[in-house]
Structure 1
Amino acid sequence: MGFLKLPSIDAPHLTTFAVALAASVATASSIFLAQHYSKHARIQRIKDEIAESLRNSIADFDDDSAEGALVGRGSGGSGGDKPAPALAEHLIREQLARNYAFLGEEGVTKVRGAFVIVVGLGGVGSHAAHMLLRSGVQRLRLIDFDQVSLSSLNRHAVATQADVGTPKSTCLQRHFGQIAPHVQIDARNELFNMDAAEELLSGEPDFVLDCIDNLNTKIDLIKYCKDNNIRIISSMGAGAKSDCSRIQIADISETFEDPLARATRRGLKLKGVESGVPVVYSTEKPGSVKLLPLEDDKVEEAEEYSALPDFRVRILPVLGTLPALFGNCMASYVITELAGWATEPLAIKGREKTYARLHRDMVNREKDQRGNAVAVPLNIADVGYVYEEIWRGRSAVSGSFDKPQIVRWDNSKPPSFQNLVCLTRPEAEKHDKIPPNRLAEHYPPEVIEYIEARFLEERRLNKWR
């Protein structure tokens, strides 16, 4: 058995090949090095511009000492009182480039011009404030009486071991100054209560974020904001929860399964507030997680360590990821609201039995009106989609949640995603008697326009279903 004989390559050809290979490698290396140094030079140029901008800003401060400059830089240049450093506008826009791409010029301008207050700077509040800062809000007031503890590092947005023992408000102020030194940070190391409410919430804030875990203080804050027409979003209980898929935003009147939400809802009702408060909460039912006993040296301060009124001397275990998600949900909601970016939070209530009843009632209505031969082309899941996502679980005519029914809008057309509306039972009974060509005679123009707009949106979205 012989070996395969390779073709011979004479010396001139081998030399030519080697020269070509060396030239290709040299060219590729040159291109790579040029790109590398170009990128490095651009990054260094931006860093130099930032440093120069900060030096020019710090030079304008009254305190010319090195310590004063560092304090100004760490507090967004304000220390709570002084104006923020005049970081070059093009650098700020570069830092917010993705926000401009998403929200547009007008949207980001509104966000940057907003004044937002965050009350409670623990796991939820620190993450909410952190993302508000990174998203462009240039005036933040941070309120909390407490200090950073070692055990809170599992859920705090920016605190490190070096921050343990320092006030949470000044901890955030210092770290935020390194992220966005042009932002004005007003840090308040104070406990919110009704006596201090007017001062702490002064300045006509565009939004207040309630990240407090003490029930009575939470109710007082929400009530004050409602009475003074201050927009507020509130966080419910993130403790003892682990299922991130259960987190949602809803009006407090529509919450369920959350003990803190239930207690807050009842407390607000006693004060005359039943709805109109958006909240972030979880529908997850408490599992096998057990309450921890309060440490001996903190029993005297037990009320400040309780998320619920029934647990005065015990602590709810917290998985650090859940408070972070709550805080980011709150920040996202506030940013889109400030920017005028339309969203429609959908309250998912796990209402499979409701969907089954709606489907059964619709089938029975079809049979009664058109005979047993009529087939309904929608299943229970489809009816749930119509009810929840198209009509948001309420009547298309009155907005009522009471006794919902799914019926044809135009009785001359078959039932479909673009021809089914949600009505209350009395509304449905009246609607069934209206001839298809006389709908405009029985409903106001704004109702007709609203329903047609929802159908148009559904037609646009239906291609993705």
Structure 2
Amino acid sequence: MEKALERTTLLIGDKGLEKLTNSSIAVIGVGGVGSYVVEALARCGVGNLLLVDHDIIDVSNINRQIHALTSTIGLSKVDVMKNRIKDINPNCKVEIKKEFCTPENVSIILNKKYDYIIDAIDYVKGKIAIIELAKQKNINVISSMGTANKLNNKSFEIVDVSKTHSCPLAKVMRKELRQKGIDSGVKVIYSPIKSIKIEQNDNTKEKVLGSISFVPPVAGLLLAGEVINDLLFDSTCMIEI
């Protein structure tokens, strides 16, 4: 893998690459955002990954999820992603859990010490539980807010959750976190641009969110970049650019 990561090493040095090789990162949710997070982490040389997602690949995922192909429809997202990582970075140790993350099982799912936890799921109670556990265990955590019903992929910001505005999911998260005694200290990626209103049949029981190929992936890559930079520039591994 030395040749494959040669250009990465030119940027971050041997010490930086060693840091990433020894890092353990959990990615909860391997969809439009999470699949691109995983892809970027594997290509950076991260040595240990936990992938959590109970879902299978559906034809409706093809427009925005990196593992979604006509040949992978019906397969487990984490199985496909694990095989993809093996083809990218054979040295990466990948653990998968086919679980839907909830407050009841989060401590079982995240039962090891991680250098970083990345939340890329839609379920609010699950997101809150992930953040709570990360805080309790003093683990770095970053959470993705909404990326659906958007066309502007240049508006994403990574800020403390207390600084978010104009994002319905972030508003709910702020309220729920305050009730847990967490007013700040949680990194999130969000867009302050209001979502596009989607016209749907009022009789539709489940509202379908609009998505496009160039929005969720951007959020995923920005998340991965933030995590990698945090790992490289922490107090134990300072690299010089």
Shared topology, TM-score over 0.5? yes
The equivalent of 2:227 in structure 1 is: 334
Which structure 1 segments of 5+ residues have no match? Answer: 1-91, 300-312, 343-465
Q: Note if contact 1:294-1:314 (Cα within 8 Å) is conserved in structure 2.
A: no
Q: 1:165 to 1:111 in 2, by over 3 A?
A: same
Residues 392-433 of structure 1 show CA distances to partners (whole Å, capped at 9, x for unaligned) of xxxxxxxxxxxxxxxxxxxxxxxxxxxxxxxxxxxxxxxxxx
Correspondence 1:109 to 2:5: no
Count of aligned residue pairs for this structure pair = 235
Do residues 95 (structure 1) and 4 (structure 2) align?
yes
Structure showing greater Rg: 1
CA distance in 2, matches of 1:99, 1:290: 45
Q: Within 5 Å, give how 1:56-205 maps onto structure 2.
A: 92-205=1-114
Pairing of 1:42-441 with structure 2 (within 5 A): 92-290=1-199, 313-340=206-233
What's the CA shift for 1:237?
0.2
Q: Which structure carries more relative contact order (alpha carbon 8 Å, separation 6+)?
A: 2
Q: 1:291 to 1:177 in 2, by over 3 A?
A: farther
Summarize the Cα distance change of 1:230–1:291 in structure 2 as closer, same or farther, 3 Å threshold. Answer: farther
Runs in 1 of length 4+ with deviation above 2 angstroms?
Answer: 286-295
Higher helix share: 1
Please report the TM-score for the alignment, with normalisation by the length of structure 1.
0.49
Point out the more displaced range, 285-294 or 314-323.
285-294
Q: Pick closer, same or farther for the CA change 1:111–1:290 going to 2, 3 Å.
A: farther
Alpha-carbon RMSD across the aligned residues, in angstroms, is: 1.8
- What is the TM-score normalised by the length of structure 2? 0.92
- How far the C-alpha of 1:293 sits from its partner, in A, is 7.1
Q: Does the CA-based 8 Å contact 1:107-1:341 persist in structure 2?
A: no
Q: Tell me the distance in 2 between the aligned counterparts of 1:136 and 1:261.
A: 31
Q: What is the distance in 2 between the residues matched to 1:201 and 1:185?
A: 14
Check the 8 A contact 1:126/1:327 in 2, yes or no: yes
Q: Quick one: percent identity of the two aligned structures?
A: 30
Q: Describe the shift of the 1:224–1:163 C-alpha distance in structure 2 as closer, same or farther (beyond 3 A).
A: same
Q: Could you list the per-position Cα deviations for residues 5-64 of structure 1 after superposition, in whole angstroms to 9, with x for gaps in the alignment?
A: xxxxxxxxxxxxxxxxxxxxxxxxxxxxxxxxxxxxxxxxxxxxxxxxxxxxxxxxxxxx
Q: By how many angstroms is 1:328 displaced?
A: 0.3
Structure 2 unmatched ranges of 5 or more: 236-241
Partners of 1:111 and 1:137 within 8 A in 2: yes
> How far 1:194 sits from its partner (Å)?
2.5
Q: 1:332 to 1:294 in 2, by over 3 A?
A: farther
Per the TM alignment, residue 341 of structure 1 is displaced from its structure 2 partner at its CA by 7.1
